[in-house]
Amino acid sequence: MSINCTTPIPLRLFEPKSASHELENGAGIIRIDLGNTFNDLRDPEIWFLEFCRKLGTPVSQSAEGELVLSIRDQSLGQNDPKTRGPNTNKKLGFHTDRCDVIAFLCLMPAMTGGENQVVDSREVERIIQRERPDIHSVLKEKFPYKRHVVDRGNQKPFVMQPIFSEFKGFFACSYLRVLIDRADQDDNCPSLNESQRQAINFLDEVCERPELQLRFTMKSGEILLLNNWTTLHRRTAFDDSLDPERKRHLLRVWLSMPNSRPLDTSFIENFGTNEAGTVRGGMKPNV
């Protein structure tokens, strides 16, 4: 397995420049332990946003232009348009987000569960290419992604993007099955063919292999940084404490990175641009 990040590094060892290099050119994952600094934070949201700005440019995560998203189980119900996977307590599938780097700060872990699982998408691609080259070819085709229910600033009902791509020698993996499945079920979006359905099923099967997964549970005061183009991530289901002050709570920031890689031109619709080092990704505010 390519990823090796068993324990968080102390905050004092964090250096933005070297961290950006490691995220883009190394394992694509960094874990940081804030230690006593966490207990001294008067406003974790303000502090975390400023911390992330040392790495890159925060981009909007909603039609309201939120730069910091509060991640906790809101129990809104499956049909509520405000429901997003991170704001439930259900197990999530391996996926990427619409940004170069995703950053989490854990304020409070769950009572039980909520384990983070990360796989190296470059290793996943190598395995699929070796074991099922026919499926690898399919995953390089464009798949339909239905517009997210909270992406109200976006006028396009769907976009077409590959899961695996290479552009100017740079690999990229982008995958959010829930939006692919929604497009497949929507008469106003293109449907998947059987080869595409088999391909994403096999992709999920490979990601499920325990030997590929880095598993850990974030503790209070821990930061997680992930390169969305070279890693896939998810968290397991969890149960919360009955005490409102002890419920699982994370903060999330989506970052556009100044040292990002160039992308296939099909990502322009969803990310604004495919050029390296430019501000891209996120959701357009509905103003």
Question: Does residue 48 lie in a domain region?
Answer: yes
- State the pLDDT at residue 80: 53
Both tokens of 88, joined, read 């439930």
Question: Does residue 4 lie in a domain region?
Answer: no
What residues contact 67, with CB distance under 8 A and at least 6 apart? Answer: 49, 58, 59, 60, 61, 253
- State the pLDDT at residue 39: 95
d(CA 129, CA 206): 11
Question: Does residue 168 lie in a domain region?
Answer: yes
d(CA 75, CA 92): 15
Question: Does residue 13 lie in a domain region?
Answer: yes
pTM attached to this predicted model:
0.94
Question: Does residue 281 lie in a domain region?
Answer: no
Domains identified in the chain, total number:
1
Full residue range of the structural domain in which residue 77 is found: 9-271
* Residues pairing with 215 in the sheet: 117
Q: What is the CATH number of the domain that holds 111?
A: 3.60.130.10
Question: Does residue 226 lie in a domain region?
Answer: yes
- State the pLDDT at residue 3: 55
For 142, the 3-state DSSP assignment is strand
What are the pLDDT tens digits along the chain (287 aa)? 345 577 899 999 999 999 999 999 999 999 999 999 999 999 999 999 999 999 999 999 998 999 999 999 876 555 555 556 677 899 999 999 999 999 999 999 999 999 999 999 999 999 999 999 999 999 999 999 999 888 877 778 899 999 999 999 999 999 999 999 999 999 999 999 999 999 999 999 999 999 999 999 999 999 999 999 999 999 999 999 999 999 999 999 999 999 999 999 999 999 999 999 999 999 988 86
d(CA 254, CA 284): 13
Question: Does residue 287 lie in a domain region?
Answer: no
Question: Does residue 285 lie in a domain region?
Answer: no
Give the neighbor-by-neighbor strand order of the sheet with 214-216: 214-216, 116-120, 231-235
- State the pLDDT at residue 2: 44
Q: HSE of 266 in the Cβ direction (CA atoms, 13 Å)? A: 19
Helix (H) or strand (E) holding 185: helix 177-185
